[in-house]
Structure 1
Amino acid sequence: MSESTPPSRPAVVPGELFQDPYAVYGRLREEGPVHQITGTDGLPAWLVTRYEDVRQALSDPRLSLDKRHATPGGYRGMALPPALDANLLNMDPPDHTRIRRMVSKVFTHRHVERLRAPVRRTADTLLDAVADQDEFDLIPSYAAPLPIIVISDLIGVPSSQRPDFRAWTDALVAPDPLRPERAREAVGRLLSFFTQLIADKRAHPADDLLSALISVRDQEDRLSENELMSLAFLILVAGYENTVHMIGNAVAALLDHPDQLSALRADADLLDRAVEELARYDGPAPLAIRRFPVEDIVIGDVTVPAGETVLLSLAAAHRDPRRFTNPDRLDLERDATGHLALGHGIHYCLGAPLARMETAIALTALFDRFPCLSLAVAARDLRRRPSMRSRGLVALPVRTAAAV
C-alpha cells in the first residue's frame, strides 16, 4: 500500500456543517479518504470519510479510546471530571470488557422485548397529551420525553428530576459557543445529580439497574466509585441523547418523503428495515467517538502518527456510493445492513436493541394516531442543534390534520 500526504483543510464552516454535514463530509470523501482538519473547536484532527476505512477503523485495536494515548494539545472530546469520565467511551479492554459485561444482559434483544408494552403505553400517553392540538412541536412533546422516561425508569431516576437532567444534557452535548459557561455549569449539575442519586439508591435500593450496579460495587468490588458513577452517567445520557435524535430525524425524513411514508403505512412488515434505513440516512451522530492511534497507522493511503486525534465520519460513510447505491436517496426497501449509526466492533452501542425498539414504536404510535401528520414548516427551514457530536433538531413543528 502506498502512503501519501493527506489533503489539508481549514476549519469547516460551522453553520454549513451543523445544517448539512452530508454535503461537507461528502465533498471531503470524494477528495480523499483522510484529511487533516481544524475542527470547529480550533483543535487539529484527522478525518476519515470513506465507508470501508471507517468500518475497519471502528474495530481496529490500534485505535484507542483511552485519552492517555492522546498527544498533548490535540482534540480529546468532552471535558469531564474523573467521576463522570471513567466510562466506556474512554476505555479499552480489559477494563472496557469488564464493565460492559456487567450491564450487557440488560440490553439484550430478549430483555428489551419485555419493555415493548410499557414503551408503547408511554408513547400513547404522550400522544394523548397533544391529541387535541392542530399543531405541536414533536421534540419536547414526544421525541425527547419518550426516551427520557424509558431510560429513567430502567435506571431508576425519579420523574421529578427528569426535566432538569434533559436541560443539563442538552447544554453539555450541544454547547452554546456564545455561552460556554453553560456547559461547565451543566457538568457541575450532573455531577451533583449523580452523586445524590447514588446516595439515595444506597440508602433505599429498588428494583432498577442503578441499585443493581451499586450492589456490584459495594458487595462484589467489581467497580470503582468513579466507574459506577460514570457508567450511570453514560447509560442515562446515551439512552436519551441518541434515541431522541433517531426518533426526531426519522420523523422529519419520513414527512419530507411522503412516498416513503406511504409505503411504510401500507406495509407494516417494512418497519424493521425502515428503522435501519432511517438510521443510515440521517443518524443521530455524524462522527464516532474520537480515537487515538497507539502507533503510527495507515488509514486509506495516509499515515496517521501515534497519539493524534482520529475522527471517523459516519455521515460521510453512510452516503458513500462505494457501499450504498444512490446513497442520498431515502429508500425504505433498501437493505441498509452494515450501516454504522450504532457503531461497529467492541464499542457497538450497548443500547442498540432498545434504541431500535423505541424508534419503531415511536413511529408506529405516532402515525397510527395522526395519519395526516405533516411538517408545519418547510423541511429546509428545520433548524439543527449546533453540535459536531450529534445530529438533532432544535424543534420539529408538525400539523396533525390534513391541509385544506
Structure 2
Amino acid sequence: MTDPTQDADFLRDPYPAYTAMRSTSPVQPVPAGSGGRSSYLVTGYAEAREALGDARLSKDTAAFFAGKGSRRRLHPAVAHTMLASDPPQHTRLRKLVTKAFTTGAVGELRPFISRLTDELLDQWPAGEPFDFVAGLAVPLPVIVICELLGVPQTDRSDVQRWSAQLFAAGEPEIIDAASHFVADYMTGLIAAKRRNPGNSLLDRLISARDGDDHLSEEELVSLAVLLLVAGHETTTNALGNVFLALFQHPGELDRLRAYPDEIPAALDELLRFDSAVSTATFRFTTEALTLGGTDIPAGVPVQVVLGAANRDPKRFPEPDQLDLDRDAAAHLVFGHGIHRCVGASLAKAEVEIALRAVLTRFPGIRLAVPVDQLDWRRTRLVRGLESLPVLV
C-alpha cells in the first residue's frame, strides 16, 4: 500500500478513498510495505466505535515493540504516554490528571479565550490576503494550553514548532529529534516550577495525589508532554477545517453569520464533516478477534480511521453533505471509550468562541484562493491545512 501522505489528491480529499475501502469491507487487512508490518484498517462507524472500546485492542506500545528491535529513538516521555497504556495503569493516570484538569475549568477559561481571540483578530489586515492558520488557528490553542501549563511566552514558538514536527509523516529522524526537544524542555520546566511553584495546570499535576498515590517523575513529564501537544494540535486543525467547510457551503455560512446563537448546536456537525483527527493512535490485538465480520489474528496493529467512520452513511445519512440540523453528537473526532480525549470540552469551546467572534467581526470573510491550491499537512494521524489564505 502506498503512503497516502505522499498523494496530493488523497491529502486534498481522502473521503472517496475511504468510501471505496468501506464499500469493500469496513475492516480489511493492509499488506505490509517494505520493512513494515501487516495491519488492519477500520473504516466503518460501528466497527470503529466497537474497536475503540474493545479491551482486546491494546494501546501498550511498549509491550508490542518489546524485543522486536527498532532504529527509532523517540523519547520515552513521547513514546509511552497515557495514550499508550492500558488499565490499570491508564485508569490510575487518568484519575490523577482529571483531579487537576476538570471540565469546570473550561467554563472559567472562556473569558480568557474570548479576550485572546479578540486580541488576535485585532491584528488581522483588511483588504489583503493573509493566512487564517497562522493568524488564528495556530496561536489561539497554543497560547491557551501554554497558559494552562504555565509555559513562558518566550518559549511558545519553540514548543509549537516541536509539536508540529512530531507529526511529520515519513520523517522519523525529525520526529525523534522533536520528541527529545519537547520532553527535555518539559523536564526543565517542571524542575523550575518545583523551585518556584505557581497555580498552573502543570503545578497542580506536580502536586496531584490520590491518597498515597502520586505521579512519578517519568509519568509527570509524559503527561505534561501529552497535554502540551494534544492540547492544541486537534484544535488547530479543527479551526481550519471548520472554516474551509463553511467557505465551501456558503448557505450554511450565511446561516451562522445571521444566527450566531446556532453555532453551539452546529458545532458537532462541523467537527464531524472534516475530522481534525484522521486516524486514532496505535492499537494492537492481544488475542484473535472478529470485527465487522473480519477475523483478525493476535499481535497485529489495528488502525481506526476516525475520518472514515465519521462519513459512514450507515450512521450519518448523506455523510458528504454538511447539514447543520444533523444530530452529530456521536461523532468520533475525539475518540470513544476510556481513551476519549480529556481535552474535548476545551477544544470545542475554543472552536465555538473563535467561530462566533470571526463571523461577528468579519462577516465578509472569504477564501482568497481556489480550494485546489490549498496545501494540506503531510501526516497520517491528523488532517489539517498548512495554510488557509482568506480575505476580510
Larger mean CA deviation between 113-122 and 127-136 belongs to 127-136
Query: Which AA in structure 2 matches 1:359?
Result: V
Residue 17 of structure 1 and its aligned partner are, at CA, apart by 3.3
Distance change (3 Å), C-alpha of 1:221 and 1:105: closer
Q: Which residue in the other structure is 1:20 paired with?
A: 13
> Of 319, 340, 344, which aligns to 1:352?
344
Q: CA deviation at 1:39?
A: 7.1
Structure 1 contact 284–341 (Cα < 8 Å) conserved = yes
CA distance in 2, matches of 1:311, 1:170: 21
The counterpart of 2:92, out of the listed 79, 84, 98, is: 98
State the partner residue of 2:333. Answer: 341
Q: Please name the residue that 2:379 is paired with.
A: 387
Counterparts of 1:385 and 1:142, CA distance in 2: 17
CA distance 1:94–1:180, shift in 2 (3 Å):
closer
The whole-number CA distance in structure 1 between the counterparts of 2:17 and 2:68 is 22
Counterpart position of 1:368:
360
Asked whether 1:165 is paired with 2:159, we answer yes
1:44 touches 1:75 (CA, 8 Å); kept in 2? Answer: no
Deviation at 1:206, TM superposition (A): 0.7
SS of the residue corresponding to residue 35 of structure 1 reads: strand
Alignment-mate amino acid for residue 99 of structure 1: L
Q: Is the alpha carbon distance of 1:22 and 1:292 closer, same or farther for their aligned partners in structure 2, counting shifts above 3 Å?
A: same
Cα distance in 2 for residues equivalent to 1:107 and 1:221: 17
Query: Quick check: 355-364 or 183-192, which moved more?
Result: 183-192
Match of 1:276 in 2: 268
Identify the residue that residue 85 of structure 1 maps to in structure 2.
79
Q: 1:32: how far off?
A: 0.8
- Give the equivalent residue in structure 1 for 2:2: 11
Structure 1 159/40 Cα, relative in aligned 2: closer, same or farther at 3 Å? farther
Contact 1:86-1:231 at 8 Å conserved across structures? no
Using a 3 Å threshold, how does the CA distance of structure 1 residues 295 and 215 change in structure 2: closer, same or farther? same
Decide whether the 8 Å contact of 1:374 with 1:398 is kept in 2: yes
Secondary structure of 1:213's aligned partner? helix
Contact 1:12 1:40 in 2 (8 A): no
| Aligned residue identity for 1:22 | Y
Equivalent in the alignment of 1:196: 188
Match of 2:208 in 1: 216
Equivalent residues of 2:26, 2:47 under 8 A apart: yes
Report the counterpart of residue 22 of structure 2 in structure 1.
29
Q: Which residue of 2 aligns with 1:7?
A: none
Letter in 2 for 1:34: V
**Separation in structure 2 between the aligned mates of residue 27 and residue 70 of structure 1, nearest angstrom:** 30
- Cross-structure match for 1:260: 252
TM-score normalised according to structure 1 size: 0.90
Give the counterpart of 1:142 among 117, 132, 136: 136
Q: Are 2:118 and 1:118 aligned?
A: no
Letter in 2 for 1:11: T
CA distance in 1, matches of 2:207, 2:291: 43
Following the alignment from structure 1 to structure 2, what is the Cα–Cα distance between the partners of residues 68 and 204?
A: 34
Is structure 2 residue 64 aligned with structure 1 residue 70?
Answer: yes
Deviation per residue, 1:17-57 (Å, 9 max, x gap): 32222122221001112121147885431001111010111
User: Alpha-carbon deviation of 1:111?
Assistant: 2.1
1:110-134 superposed Cα distances (whole Å, 9 cap, x missing partner): 3211111100000000011114453
RMSD between superposed Cα atoms in Å: 2.3
For residue 47 of structure 1, what is the aligned residue in structure 2? 41
- From the superposition, tell whether residues 397 and 38 of structure 1 become closer, same or farther in structure 2 (CA, over 3 Å): farther
Percent of aligned pairs sharing the same letter:
43
Q: Which moved more, 1:305-314 or 1:260-269?
A: 260-269
For the 8 Å contact 1:69–1:293, the answer to whether it is kept is no
Report deviation, 1:79. Answer: 6.2
Give ranges in structure 1 of 5+ residues lacking alignment.
1-9
Number of aligned residue pairs: 388
Tell me the CA shift for residue 286 of structure 1. Answer: 1.1
CA contact (8 A) 2:137 2:236 kept: yes
Q: Matched residue of 1:331: which SS?
A: coil
Question: What is the identity, as a one-letter code, of the residue corresponding to 2:158?
Answer: D
Secondary structure at the aligned position of 2:225 is classed as helix
User: Counterparts of 2:69 and 2:239 in 1: how far apart (Å)?
Assistant: 29
